[in-house]
Amino acid sequence: MSSINRVPNEVWEGILSRLYPSQLSRMSMVNKNLNVIVSSLEVWPRMFHAAYGLEAQLRPLMCIPKAKSSYMIFMCASSLHVCEKCFGLTGYNAHKLYWLPLPIPVLLPRRSTDMIKYVGDRFEPNWTIQMCLLCRQGHISDLGEPVPRNVTNCSMAWVDLCDKYPCANEARGLFSLRRGNSFINELGAFNYMRRYFGGDIGIKAFKTSTEAYDAETETRILWYQRQE
Ligand SMILES: [Zn+2]
């Protein structure tokens, strides 16, 4: 018997209740016992009904059997569109990718001494959860993000800024921050765009097509269906 299996289920449930859904789904892959515990947690039907409505039924949506684990499987498959913090569903066919939930680094709840793991300018994907635009905006204003090395605290011509950040034109209100001329402080503009697009990941998402992202969701749903 492995040491994981010697921990009583109630203890596991206490530990797991502090984790976000994507962290839970990683835990469910550890072994069969944890998979059973994680997939029967109340969080999955709660997340499902928060996203799709109290009246929603699992079966007509996905044609998968209505077992307890199906909620987890369905939520994992559709997680690219569901915010793990507010459980809100961001609609398919969104025209802008930054409107959708995107991975952003988080601290585990109640572990304030932990540091977010950054590798260079990029963060460790295992320390991320998917958050909608509104939750990302709140999260980065609380937590902040390190300033990338290629962002200067200098004045920059508006045309050069738009050249370096094609999303600058999209960030409504940024244009009026210019100091009466055609120049703007790059760091100030960058922080404005971070707030507007919901972090660095939102700024980067500007270049990605929503179609490609949705195709990925479809592939994931098919993959999860085969696991049942
Ligand atoms: Zn949210």
Tens of pLDDT, residues 21-31: 888 888 888 88
186 — pLDDT class (breaks 50, 70, 90): very high
Q: 170: which strand partners?
A: none
- Round the average pLDDT of the chain to a whole number and report it: 79
In sequence order, what E strands does the chain have? Answer: 102-105, 118-119, 122-123, 128-131, 155-157, 183-185
Q: What is the mean pLDDT of residues 73-99?
A: 80
Å from CA of 152 to ligand 1 middle: 31
60 — pLDDT class (breaks 50, 70, 90): very low
Å from CA of 130 to ligand 1 middle: 8
Å from CA of 21 to ligand 1 middle: 13
Å from CA of 138 to ligand 1 middle: 9
Task: Indicate whether 219 pLDDT > 80.
Answer: no
Per-residue confidence (pLDDT) for residue 225, from 0 to 100: 60
Å from CA of 18 to ligand 1 middle: 17
Q: 89: which strand partners?
A: 82
Å from CA of 77 to ligand 1 middle: 17
Task: Indicate whether 218 pLDDT > 80.
Answer: no
Å from CA of 10 to ligand 1 middle: 29
pTM score, whole prediction:
0.75
Distance CA 100, CA 116 (A): 23
Å from CA of 133 to ligand 1 middle: 7
What burial class does residue 161 get, using C-beta atoms within 10 Å of its C-beta: 0-12 exposed, 13-18 middle, 19+ buried? buried
| Distance from chain centroid for Cα 127 | 11
Å from CA of 158 to ligand 1 middle: 32
Per-residue confidence (pLDDT) for residue 216, from 0 to 100: 75
Å from CA of 136 to ligand 1 middle: 7
pLDDT in tens, 107-163: 544 444 444 544 445 555 556 788 999 999 998 888 778 888 899 999 999 999 999
Å from CA of 110 to ligand 1 middle: 19
Distance CA 55, CA 62 (A): 15
Å from CA of 83 to ligand 1 middle: 5
In sequence order, what E strands does 83-206 have? Answer: 102-105, 118-119, 122-123, 128-131, 155-157, 183-185
Per-residue confidence (pLDDT) for residue 119, from 0 to 100: 45
